[in-house]
Structure 1
């Protein structure tokens, strides 16, 4: 049976738990379709919706594209015109039913194309923002072990750690997928924490920006903030 890990609020890592428990947490509303989860063998962390079939969450699978029952059949093809040239009528004939049908079909097709364009104009930016939020959430998951190290250091030494302290390397040594470097030290508000400089050339709204994880030693809580626009951030990091 596969054992899964999930990022609670896309910040705190939890697990391992069996797949049935992940499905139960989703149905109880404690996890969402965007929650990042992972198990050995799937590579990077994935939104829960991407592995819904494996977890038995059929309600997250895309609906079938089959036509619903009761759809009327297509109209019969037009009759083949006779080869002989008919006599020119002395009066203008009324428009045939098929001509009217064709005009109506063309109007409906244009309307559907217009609606499709509106939907695309809404859906494409929304999907792009989802991708950006997922990239930030993935960086938070990568930094979770470093947060645990900082918390432990503060409890043992009653001060904030810095790059170069025992167990903490240079800023450049923390370079990883989406991260250029990580500064560790004191914040201006006398809190401890870290600043992760983002490196995402393929995502210009994020590249070169910073993600700050601020540890309040009095309340022993973490806060997330960033100079990335709020619309591109997970809810927990918005200002």
Structure 2
């Protein structure tokens, strides 16, 4: 195993950070690593907003559901799907196809993961903040996003002030199928649920008793940010 793979396998979400700032050199390397990520047809339909204003940080923490580390992390980045550049280059650009929003979301995820992996390789930690979509319109207005541009998620970065265990994942044979989709073996889920219960029972904070199956089915049994479609439509995206 090389150091890159070891860094990947050691990923933990970090939500507590020391006051130590990230240097400009480190930040530049993280951004360059993100820019080096794959981009569909080299469209490069992602914009990243670095939020340094303390008042805006506090508001974003509130909009994200009271996640205080949004305000306290050394850096906070907001990843956006962005077709404004392309529309400015040529007014014939039609950015309202659903496929183009999907491309933007995929590209943003790839770019962000490059940024996070680069940060972790430098001894930093971070966590994704999908909670920005709880109040996407307010975030949009706070960051003055133009038409054709929409908020996707945020990312906290900084020096870790905690050392959580690596959270168990579903085993590869459940995720990776060969030649065709394979039927789920519920015995595999039972084993995984047991490993997650053990993880939650023994971690130092936020201990839980629910299994992975219970948590995920509960989350997927109700509405999931139904305001996102009209929000994206209002930005000229995902209309057809």
TM-score by length of 1: 0.26
The one of the two structures with greater contact order (alpha-carbon pairs below 8 A, sep at least 6) is: 2
> Which protein has the larger Cα radius of gyration, Structure 1 or Structure 2?
1
Higher helix share: 2
